[in-house]
């Protein structure tokens, strides 16, 4: 840590100077490292320092023209293909045909499983629908029977009341007739 004594302006100026010195020192070290690396890597490259600034340092790399006497042969040839015999080609074709057949069989198996699943789902839906229909029909039948029994019971009760009324009316008539006969 760097300590600077003095007023605020003096301290700020001192800190800025110290920062610039550190940056220049780092830039110089980097320039040396880059130059030594480039010299080791290739003697055809020249490094020219441009100017140092507070924001950093600039370099210009100058490449020498390629020499024709020491140019390595860089022609890239395609990899040589191994020549296949007729038997090898036939074996490969048979293996490919076998893979194709296995693939087709697998696809057919999956389709069959899918159809079977669809049939099961459809059968289950039909069964549930039938069960629902049966339950609804049983419920409706039960309700209708209950309503019929209630209606018959109500009719029987009404008939019974009407019979009792008829009996009372008949008794009253007889009583009246017997009074009329007695009075006469």
Q: What is the pLDDT of residues 45-69, one digit of tens each?
A: 677 777 777 777 777 767 776 666 5
Most confident listed range (35-39, 45-49, 100-104): 100-104
Instruction: State whether 169 and 115 are in the same domain.
Output: yes
The DSSP secondary-structure symbol of 74 reads: -
d(CA 123, CA 133): 15
Instruction: State whether 32 and 99 are in the same domain.
Output: no
Across 45-49, 114-118, 177-181, least confident range: 45-49
Question: In this predicted model, which residue has the larger pLDDT, 93 or 36?
Answer: 93
**Is residue 32 scored above 80 in pLDDT?**
no
d(CA 85, CA 89): 6
Instruction: State whether 154 and 113 are in the same domain.
Output: yes
The label of the residue with tokens 């100077």 reads 17
CB contact at 8 A, 30 and 57? yes
Please, which pLDDT band fits residue 1 given cuts at 50, 70 and 90?
A: very low
Please, which pLDDT band fits residue 18 given cuts at 50, 70 and 90?
A: confident
The DSSP secondary-structure symbol of 68 reads: S
Q: What is the pTM of this model?
A: 0.36
Which residues make Cβ contacts (< 8 Å) with residue 135, sequence separation at least 6?
none
Domain ranges, residue 28: 8-63
Nearest Cα to 18, choosing from 1, 39, 35?
1
d(CA 91, CA 99): 12
Instruction: State whether 54 and 114 are in the same domain.
Output: no
Instruction: State whether 97 and 54 are in the same domain.
Output: no
d(CA 52, CA 71): 37
Domain count, the chain: 2
**Is residue 85 scored above 50 in pLDDT?**
yes
Instruction: State whether 52 and 103 are in the same domain.
Output: no
Which residues make Cβ contacts (< 8 Å) with residue 172, sequence separation at least 6?
none
Question: In this predicted model, which residue has the larger pLDDT, 13 or 107?
Answer: 107
Measuring CA to CA, how many Å separate 175 from each of 107, 172, 183?
101, 5, 12
Instruction: State whether 103 and 159 are in the same domain.
Output: yes
Look at residue 12 in the predicted model and tell me its pLDDT.
Answer: 78
pLDDT digits (tens, 9 = 90+) for 143-169: 999 999 999 999 999 999 999 999 999
Look at residue 66 in the predicted model and tell me its pLDDT.
Answer: 64
Instruction: State whether 103 and 38 are in the same domain.
Output: no
* Average pLDDT in the chain: 82
Instruction: State whether 59 and 137 are in the same domain.
Output: no
């Amino acid at each position: 840590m760097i300590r600077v004594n003095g007023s605020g302006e003096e301290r700020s100026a001192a800190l800025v100077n110290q920062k610039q010195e550190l940056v220049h020192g780092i830039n110089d070290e980097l320039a040396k490292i880059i130059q030594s690396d480039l010299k080791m890597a290739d003697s055809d490259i020249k490094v020219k320092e441009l100017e140092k600034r507070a924001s950093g340092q600039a370099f210009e790399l100058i490449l020498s023209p390629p020499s024709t006497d020491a140019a390595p042969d860089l022609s890239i040839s395609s990899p040589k293909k191994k020549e296949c015999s007729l038997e090898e080609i036939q074996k490969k074709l048979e293996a490919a045909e076998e893979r194709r057949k296995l693939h087709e069989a697998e696809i057919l198996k999956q389709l069959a499983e899918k159809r079977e699943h669809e049939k099961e789902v459809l059968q289950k839906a039909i069964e549930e629908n039938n069960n629902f229909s049966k339950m609804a029909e049983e419920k409706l039948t039960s309700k209708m029977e209950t309503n019929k029994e209630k209606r018959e019971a109500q009719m029987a009760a009404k008939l019974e009341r009407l019979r009792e009324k008829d009996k009372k009316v008949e008794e009253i008539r007889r009583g009246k007739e017997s009074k009329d006969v007695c009075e006469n």
